[in-house]
A and B are shown apart, each in its own frame.
Chain A
Amino acid sequence: GAVVSQHPSRVICKSGTSVKIECRSLDFQATTMFWYRQFPKQSLMLMATSNEGSKATYEQGVEKDKFLINHASLTLSTLTVTSAHPEDSSFYICSARDRGGGARGGYTFGSGTRLTVV
């Protein structure tokens, strides 16, 4: 089945530094990837839609200069949290949509990255 690999699974960084999170579709091509963040005991909130070869589309209220998204190939999207602050600490999850769709709707999620900013 479709697999999405997300790295790192956990990261602790100092306030003011930047952190890059990678999301790879291992066995399918994903023209579209999605980035979510999830605070403890809350739902997933869509941050942005990442399209291969074009600029990401950000949801209202998400700072595009703080959360840099790059989708340079059909199998890789990256999210960089720039100048991280403690309030950016969260669980970040990527999702890739198989452009073939499929019986399960075509969405596969990565295992998430738990970011802690100290």
Chain B
Amino acid sequence: GIQVEQSPPDLILQEGANSTLRCNFSDSVNNLQWFHQNPWGQLINLFYIPSGTKQNGRLSATTVATERYSLLYISSSQTTDSGVYFCAVDMDSSYKLIFGSGTRLLVRP
């Protein structure tokens, strides 16, 4: 099956710093999404981005489908950005989302 790997696994930032999270996938995909899981376990959909670049406030994401990777940029990080960031892909008409290993982010005040 498809492999979805994320890096780094853990990241500690000082408030105000910028960061880049990476998601590599081993096969062509129909869909790629980025999620933030807050400390209570709720998954928040950040981006639906099978290709191209999107921005939403301090967050932006870029997917280069031909090279099978996606990047999530967090600028001017805040303590509320802490949590786990997952990318997830689906590769066929089943719509099953396969999650990456996640990046655990801690933003310190």
Chain A 95-118 interface 0/1 with B at a Cβ cutoff of 8 Å (1 = within): 101000001110111011010000
Chain B 67-109 interface 0/1 with A at a Cβ cutoff of 8 Å (1 = within): 0000000000000000000101000001111111110100000
Residue A54 at the chain B interface, CB threshold 8 Å: no
User: What residues on B are CB-neighbors of A93 within 8 Å?
Assistant: 41, 43
Cα distance, A112 to B43, chains bound together (Å): 9
Residue A25 at the chain B interface, CB threshold 8 Å: no
Residue B42 at the chain A interface, CB threshold 8 Å: yes
On whether the beta carbons of A43 and B86 are closer than 8 Å, the reply is: yes
Please give the distance in Å from A112's CB to the nearest CB on chain B. Answer: 4
What is the interface residue range for chain A against chain B? 20 to 34
- The answer to whether A103 and B42 touch (CB under 8 A), given A34-B97, A44-B86, A46-B96, is no
Within 8 Å by CB of B45, from A41, A44, A104, A112, lies A104
User: What residues on B are CB-neighbors of A107 within 8 Å?
Assistant: 33, 45, 97
Residues in chain A within 8 A of chain B (CB atoms)? 32, 34, 36, 38, 41, 43-46, 49, 91, 93, 95, 97, 103-105, 107-109, 111-112, 114
Pairs A–B under 8 Å by Cβ, sample size 26? A32-B95, A41-B104, A43-B86, A43-B99, A43-B100, A43-B101, A44-B86, A44-B99, A45-B99, A49-B94, A93-B41, A93-B43, A104-B33, A104-B45, A104-B48, A105-B33, A105-B45, A105-B48, A107-B45, A109-B35, A109-B42, A109-B43, A111-B40, A111-B41, A111-B42, A112-B41
Residues in chain B within 8 A of chain A (CB atoms)? 31, 33, 35, 40-43, 45, 48, 86, 88, 94-102, 104
